[in-house]
Chains A and B, each alone.
Chain A
Amino acid sequence: EAGVVQSPRYKIIEKKQPVAFWCNPISGHNTLYWYRQNLGQGPELLIRYENEEAVDDSQLPKDRFSAERLKGVDSTLKIQPAELGDSAVYLCASSPGGRQSTDTQYFGPGTRLTVL
């Protein structure tokens, strides 16, 4: 079974440029998460989707960040315009969904973003 797929693995851009990250969750997983991980810290949730609905986006900086999961499968996270402080690793995770204890999140390899 394929795991969570993310692309690109690395991205270097100049500040004020736009950037987009793509994530394909594990087949059959209804819940998708985007996290940001700053250097030396644990991941922090940006947004959580249940199917195509964003159910927790309270930590998403909506002035410059946007996300979509139009068909309830793969998802795109966009930053426009990027700032120096956006340099981080962006992790995507998925889980089967629901409130069961077995709703464990499985992570992709992440995208390392460097903003110059």
Chain B
Amino acid sequence: AQTVTQSQPEMSVQEAETVTLSCTYDTSESDYYLFWYKQPPSRQMILVIRQEAYKQQNATENRFSVNFQKAAKSFSLKISDSQLGDAAMYFCAYRTSGSRLTFGEGTQLTVNP
């Protein structure tokens, strides 16, 4: 079974600084997809960034980028120039084609002014 592990229950960052959230996963599949979702107190799960395992290039979305290390089964999220609105619970998630999303336990990010 696939598992997703987020080893940092809580992280904090100063506004305008950079923070990296860690995620590792376990799978025997070669073709899969990885996601980072953000869940603010409103509970709405918002897609932050997506990475296809067959792509070597790391995905980037504005201030958000990932460091995808396929051999190490690692998928970390870097948030640059952190803003107060980035404060939320961040979930790493994995799926193969047509299968369910498997989520990690989440990392609560606090942004300090």
Report A's interface with B, CB cutoff 8 A: 33, 40-45, 48, 56, 89, 91, 93, 99, 101, 104-110, 112
Contact = CB atoms under 8 A, between A and B. Distances in A.
A55 B44 CA distance: 25
B100 A108 contact: no
Interface residues of B, number: 22
Interface of B: 4, 33, 35, 37, 42-47, 50, 52, 91, 93, 97-98, 100-101, 103-106
List of 8 A-B pairs having minimum Cβ-Cβ separation, nearest first? A42-B103, A107-B45, A99-B97, A45-B100, A110-B43, A99-B98, A101-B52, A109-B44
A89 B91 CA distance: 15
B45 A91 contact: yes
Interface-centre pick from A107, A108, A112 (highest chain B CB count, 10 A)? A107
B91 A42 contact: yes
A99 B95 CA distance: 11
A41 B93 CA distance: 12
Given A101-B52, A104-B35, A109-B44, A41 B106 contact: yes
27 contacts: A33-B101, A40-B105, A40-B106, A41-B105, A42-B4, A42-B91, A42-B93, A43-B101, A45-B101, A48-B100, A89-B43, A91-B43, A91-B45, A93-B45, A99-B97, A99-B98, A101-B33, A101-B50, A104-B35, A104-B50, A105-B101, A107-B44, A107-B45, A107-B46, A109-B42, A110-B44, A112-B43
B35 A109 contact: no
A107 B103 CA distance: 14
B50 A109 contact: no
